[in-house]
Structures are given as C-alpha cells and as structure tokens.
Amino acid sequence: MSKPSNEEIFEIQRKINIVDVIRDYIPLTKKGKNYFGICPFHDDHNPSMSVSQEKQMYKCFVCGAAGNVFNFVKDYKNINYYEAVKEVANKVGISIDIGTYKPKEDIKFKDEYDIYDLSNKFYQNNLNTNLGKIARNYLISRDMNDDIIKKFQIGLSFSDNKLTELLLKKGYSKELLVKSGIAVINNDGKVNDIYRNRIMFPLWDTNGKVIGFSGRIYEGKDQSKYINTMETDIFKKGSLLYNYENARKSILDKDEIIICEGFMDVIRLYTIGVTNVVATMGTAITKEQLNLIRKLTNNVILMFDGDSAGEKATLSFIELSKDIDFNLNIVRLEEDLDPDDYIIKKGKDKMMEHLSKPINAFDYALFNLKNNYNFNNPEDVSKFITSIIDKISNIEDDVIRDLEIKKISKLTNVDSDIIKSKIKTKTKEVKVEIKPIIKFKENKYDKASKLILFNMIRHNNIIQYYFNNLSYLPDEIDRRLASEIVLFFKKYNSFNLVDFITYLGDNSELVKRVSYIDSLEFSENYSMEEIDNYFDTIREFSNKKQIENLQNKLKTETNDVVRKEIAKKIIEIKSKM
C-alpha cells in the first residue's frame, strides 16, 4: 500500500492558495482581510463561509464545516482524502502517486456508479469502431466535431446485448442491472440492453459521475426520439442540473449562468462558444436546483423553449425563485424554437444577439400579466395593479423600483403616487417575527480547556508546558486534540496550524474542533500565571471527578478495611485541593 507522505502533502499545501482553489467551486467576495461565500455544505442563504488567505483555512460559522484546501475538495467532491490531495496537486503541476493506496470504501450505491461508469466507457468505445461510422457522420452533420463528442462523452449503443453480457460477466446481478435502468428482463427471463441502436448522451451528477443516459435515434424511425434513464437510487432529475460540473469554472469566471431545458441545447451552445450553460432536463424547476444555481452565481439568464410550455416553465421559475436574490433575466426565442433548433435555423449571431439583450424578470412578468387584463376597464386596471404590487415590493433597489413604478404608471395611466401608496400599505401588512436568542452558559472547565488549546496552537512553549505539567483535559475530543498537537510538535519540533490540519488528514472531527478553537476571540497575549490558573482549573475538575468516583465506590463497598482506604484517598485529594 502506498500513499504520499505528510512532507509531500505539506509541499503541495505551501504551493497552493486556498482562495484560488475554492474559487473554482464557489464564488468568493473579499470583506476585510478574509473572503466570504455561500457554504456548499448546508442550505445556506447568506454567505457564512469564511476563507482566510493568511491562514490558508476555511470555516463556516453556521454548520461548522472547516479545514484546509484538501478538506474542502474532499467534502465538496465527496471523494477520499488522498484523491483530494491528488486533485489539488494537479492544480499546481505537481505529480503525486496515490498508486495502490485504497482507503476503506463506504460509498453508498457504489455498484450502481461502477455500472454506469463502465457502460459509459463501453458506449464511447462503440462510437470509435468501424460500426460507429454512420453515427459519427450523423453527429458531424449536426456540427458536433470530435472536441464536442469528447467533451460530452457521447457514445453509441448497438442492436445487441453486449453491454448486458459484459456487466453480467463482471459479476453484477440481473436484478441490479434492471434496477439501475441499464437492462430489462423479457418474458422468457432473459436480460436485454434497454438502449439499442441509439446515440448515447451520458448524464452526470453534480460531482461529474455518470448516473444515467439519454439515447437518441439517428437512423430510421422509432416511436420515441429519446429514451431516458428512469429515476433510480442515484438518478433524481429534480436534484440535478445537466452539465453543472463541466460548466462550473466558466460560470464562476463569468459570474453568470444560462439555464436551458434540454441537454441538446447545452451541447449546441457549446458549439458556438457559450460554455456557462446548464439544463433542467425538461423537469419543472425545484428548490434543490435553485440552491445549486445560487452556490455558483446570482446572475441568471433563463432561456427555456420558445413554445407555450417554455413560457409556463419560465413563469414558474420566476415565481419559485422570488425569495432568492437572483439578478434574473429572460431570453424568449421566436417561432416556438428551442435553443438547439434556433441556432441551427437562425445561426450564432442571432443567438448571441438574444443573449446580449435579455429582458429582466419583472418586465417579462409584467408583459405576460398585462395580456390577462383589459386596460380600458377601470376594474381590470385596479386588479392588474393589485396583482403586480407583490412583485414591485420585492424589488430592493429603490432606483429600479421607482423606474418600474413609472413604467406601470405609463402603461395604466394611473398616477405613480397612487401606486406607491399601495406598496406602502402592502409593506405595513408584513409582520417580522423576532425569535429570542438562547444563550448557553459555559462552565469554567470548558472555558479553561478552550483557552489551553487556543494557546497551544499559537505558542510552542505552551505545548511542552502542557505535556510536562498537565496532559489531561475533561472532554474526550479536546483530550485527543491536545494529544495530537503534542505528537505533531514532538515529530516536527515546531507547530504550524495549516500543516497540523494536513497532518490530521481526514479526521474531520479533530479538524473541525481545532478550526473552531482557532476562531475563538481570545487574546493573543498570555502570561504563565494565566496558563497556570487554567491548569489549576482542569486539575480541580480532575480531582472532583476522582472524588465522585471514590464516593460512588464507597457506597457499594462492604469491606471496612477497603472503605477506610477509600475514605483516606478522598481526604488526601481534598487536602490537595
């Protein structure tokens, strides 16, 4: 078994900037000396993750997620620690071999993921054979060159059962292949491939793992133009966005995301150089998908299909996302076309023109809403203004809100002040519930432990002093943390917090604890008298614990000689105190 040494990982750590790496996954904004972003490890609504360039550490002040660059990549991509080390090393051009090192694998649905990974490679290989020439020519005729085919891992299924046969030989059961959506059992009990003679488009989860397919006909006719993987344990449409992992860097670089309905829309946009694009894969937008979007950017261009279903989906997106601070703009395509067909029919320039002049979400909603009312009828005008008040109230920017009010005033011939008065009335109806803050009282032993650890990670002499004079803390996690600090100090003759977190590896419990201790707002200055006071407090706890244990023992002891010995020990401890 081989794995990189701590020293090799320290070298990678020193060559990387945690801010640059985390920016590859989430947007960060500088505030003071630190950077802040939406935490990807819980349902975050305000930037609660702080990233310190100085300390090369991150910490979420809500969920407690914390650590160094390797911990972030590991948890974000749901990979093991050494895979995260290798991924970070690649970013700075360091070649590192994790070789035969195999950590304990505890991946839920591992067999399902492996089946789809193998199937994807099988389909891609098919496309590159002589039998795949017709399919390749079809793709080329639709302006999908080798780069696009490779980028989107496009493959081909044949009219046989070779994939099923291969997977059965690999030891996967018939039942698992059917449950995974790769095969189907016929009436005679034989297992057959579901996808036959179709161009195969893999579908990925947010970490880039293949979890499903969409198979498209390319010659002849079939009842179904596309066959898509059914919902399985690992494939849930409402929790995914097509191309999310591929598009991540482009979205972060441009601070803007384009959202379409279908995966072919995404691929077609790539052919004209638009890469910050994802797709909902035809499902109604969900809160999970909205959370995925806001983790990357607040600037959204919505470009659903140009038909009535696309219009309905657009309005649904606007309504569901109204409580999120999106800068939302809309592109609607004429002639009921989807983006794929639009580019083929109208060309790149017309598409780029649309993308450069989107309509803001309020104007789009206004445009659609006004078609439901007769503006020559006073009652309809009143109803229209009432229906739009909520949307105006949600506009936080005073200048934009005022401009929109003037727009409605001009549209309805109703004075702006009257519209504003309705908004004020609406605002008064809003009730804000203020929840009382519950404060938990901290006992002196917990505080003393934190202060000791806080000083240990800042001052090498306190580590040695702890080892010589105390070597005990009441809480089990704190005790283990202190022990690891001492071991690290003994091994490297000095203590460095970032290297120490790297040394802890994937021990997330201790990484979180030491990151929390580091973030406490205690004074950086200390005196040995203070340290001795903290030590005395811990000794007091230890003595009380010993007395408590002895007293419990005394209650059950019947031998008088033993009872006297126990009582004597209690007196000795009390006299020390």
Specify the pLDDT at position 560: 67
**Does residue 475 lie within any of the structural domains?**
yes
Whether residue 453 sits in one domain with residue 571: yes
Tell me how far apart the alpha carbons of residues 175 and 185 are, in angstroms, rounded to a whole number: 9
Specify the pLDDT at position 424: 61
Q: Are 121 and 127 within 8 A, CB to CB?
A: no
Contacts of 136 (CB under 8 A, 6+ apart): 127, 149
C-alpha pair distances (Å), 68 with each of 52, 76, 515: 10, 12, 9
Classify 34 as helix, strand or coil: strand
C-alpha pair distances (Å), 348 with each of 33, 119, 340, 451, 522: 43, 34, 11, 63, 59
**Does residue 100 lie within any of the structural domains?**
no
Examine the fold and report which residue of 362, 382, 397 is the final residue of a domain before the chain moves on. 362
* CATH number for 58: 3.90.580.10
Specify the pLDDT at position 440: 45
Tell me how far apart the alpha carbons of residues 22 and 143 are, in angstroms, rounded to a whole number: 35
Tell me how far apart the alpha carbons of residues 405 and 392 are, in angstroms, rounded to a whole number: 8
Q: Are 288 and 269 within 8 A, CB to CB?
A: no
Structure tokens at 452: 């000791």
C-alpha pair distances (Å), 117 with each of 98, 121, 192, 196: 21, 6, 19, 18
Whether residue 456 sits in one domain with residue 411: no
Secondary structure E strands in 55-103? 57-60, 66-67
Q: Which domain holds residue 312?
A: 240-362
**Does residue 97 lie within any of the structural domains?**
no
Tell me how far apart the alpha carbons of residues 278 and 265 are, in angstroms, rounded to a whole number: 9
Specify the pLDDT at position 562: 66
Whether residue 352 sits in one domain with residue 296: yes
**Does residue 367 lie within any of the structural domains?**
no
Whether residue 486 sits in one domain with residue 554: yes
Specify the pLDDT at position 506: 84
* CATH number for 466: 1.10.860
Examine the fold and report which residue of 316, 332, 362 is the final residue of a domain before the chain moves on. 362
Among residues 105, 129, 21, 139, which one has the least CA distance to residue 70?
A: 21
Whether residue 326 sits in one domain with residue 342: yes
**Does residue 348 lie within any of the structural domains?**
yes
Whether residue 559 sits in one domain with residue 454: yes
| Total number of domains in the chain | 5
Specify the pLDDT at position 108: 80
Among residues 35, 18, 5, which one has the least CA distance to residue 76?
A: 18
**Does residue 312 lie within any of the structural domains?**
yes
Q: Tell how far CA 167 is from the center of its chain.
A: 32
Whether residue 127 sits in one domain with residue 209: yes
Specify the pLDDT at position 144: 93
**Does residue 57 lie within any of the structural domains?**
yes
Whether residue 301 sits in one domain with residue 269: yes
**Does residue 437 lie within any of the structural domains?**
no
Specify the pLDDT at position 428: 42
Whether residue 301 sits in one domain with residue 223: no
Please give, one letter per residue, the 3-state secondary structure of 229-240.
CCCCCCCCHHHC
Whether residue 474 sits in one domain with residue 351: no
Low-confidence ranges of the chain (pLDDT < 70): 1-2, 99-107, 221-223, 424-442, 547, 550, 554, 557, 560, 562, 566-568, 570-577
Whether residue 421 sits in one domain with residue 319: no
Sign (positive or negative) of CA dihedral 218, 138, 140, 192: positive
DSSP codes of every residue in 114-126: HHHHHHHHHHHHH
Specify the pLDDT at position 441: 55
Q: Are 409 and 433 within 8 A, CB to CB?
A: no
Length of the chain, please? 577
Q: Are 297 and 257 within 8 A, CB to CB?
A: yes
Specify the pLDDT at position 325: 82
Q: What is the pLDDT of residues 267-291, one digit of tens each?
A: 999 999 999 999 998 788 999 999 9
Tell me how far apart the alpha carbons of residues 169 and 162 are, in angstroms, rounded to a whole number: 11
Specify the pLDDT at position 392: 79
Specify the pLDDT at position 281: 82
* CATH number for 183: 3.90.980.10
Whether residue 230 sits in one domain with residue 259: no
